[in-house]
Structure formats: structure tokens, C-alpha cells
């Protein structure tokens, strides 16, 4: 309530859709990892999260993978959608009081990789961020179509 809606809010929908794709990908705990972008079925590190052998990803890797898959289908513009999705996650982390550790986007990877971090924590962050985006989209829709 009382939150300002700006032109940038029109960019929320593609970024929210990207976050929803990541949320679906990481829903199964076996598809989430820490410390690397992605892993293959044997648990070996993959430096490229879009590698065809990847079966699990860190949050940052899952974002890049989802963006790459949708980019191939001409759904998400690069780099705007990915950057907006990461900005939304960083804003939510800041709202929670998380401290910046390694630059704006490095926060996502370092947050994911903290030893006490759980799969449930990652899903909760995604759910909170997606919910906040939906809220802003609803506010924007009411202002555009009273």
C-alpha cells in the first residue's frame, strides 16, 4: 500500500515469468546445488549451467539456464530480463536485511552458497520475490485500468 509504481514496473512480467520458471526447475531438492553453477548426474561440476548434462543448479545457475532456454524460444530478451530478475531477488534480499558480499549479483551466488542455506530457503526467496512482483503488477493494472 502506498508503493510507487514506475515505468520500470512494466518490465516486471517477463522477469517474474523467468523467476517462475526457475521456481519450477528448482522445486525438486535434487535439482538444487551449492558452490557451482551446475552439476551432472554424477555430481561433477559444470561451469556452464546450460550444459545439456546439467541436472541441478545453484540459484544463479538456474536463472541463467532458464533465461537461455527461453531466449532460444524468443520469450526473454537478454540481458534485460535476466538483469531485472536478479535485481528483484537482490531487492528482496536487501529487504530481508541481507548484507552485500560480492557486488550486486554476487549476492545471489554467495547467499545461495552459505553453508547453512537450505533448499527451502531458496524456494522461499523465489516465492517472496514472485509474490512481490505480482503485487506490483496488480497495483500497476489498477492504476492503468481504474
pTM beyond 0.95: no
Of 134 and 141, more confident: 134
46 φ, ψ (degrees, to nearest 5): -120, 125
Helix axes 80-95, 103-113, angle to 10 degrees: 60
Of the candidates 135, 88, 90, the one whose C-alpha atom is nearest the C-alpha of residue 111 is 90
pLDDT at 17 over 60: yes
pLDDT confidence band for 89 (50 / 70 / 90): very high
pLDDT at 101 over 50: yes
The winner for highest mean pLDDT among 5-19, 67-81, 92-106 is 92-106
Cell of 19: 523467476
Cell of 88: 528483484
Amino acid at each position: 500500500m502506498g508503493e510507487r509504481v514506475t515505468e520500470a514496473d512494466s518490465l516486471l512480467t517477463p522477469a517474474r515469468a523467468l523467476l517462475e520458471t526457475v521456481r519450477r526447475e528448482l522445486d525438486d531438492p535434487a535439482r538444487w546445488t551449492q558452490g557451482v553453477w551446475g552439476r551432472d548426474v554424477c555430481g561433477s561440476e559444470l561451469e556452464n549451467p546450460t550444459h545439456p548434462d546439467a541436472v541441478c543448479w545453484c540459484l544463479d545457475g538456474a536463472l541463467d539456464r532458464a533465461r537461455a532456454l527461453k531466449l532460444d524460444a524468443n520469450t526473454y530478451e537478454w540481458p534485460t530480463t535476466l538483469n531485472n530478475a536478479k535485481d528483484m531477488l537482490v531487492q528482496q534480499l536487501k529487504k530481508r536485511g541481507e548484507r552485500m558480499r560480492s557486488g550486486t549479483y554476487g549476492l545471489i551466488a554467495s547467499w545461495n552458497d552459505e553453508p547453512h542455506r537450505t533448499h527451502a530457503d531458496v524456494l522461499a526467496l523465489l516465492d517472496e520475490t514472485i509474490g512481490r512482483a505480482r503485487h506490483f503488477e496488480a497495483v500497476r493494472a489498477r492504476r492503468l485500468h481504474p
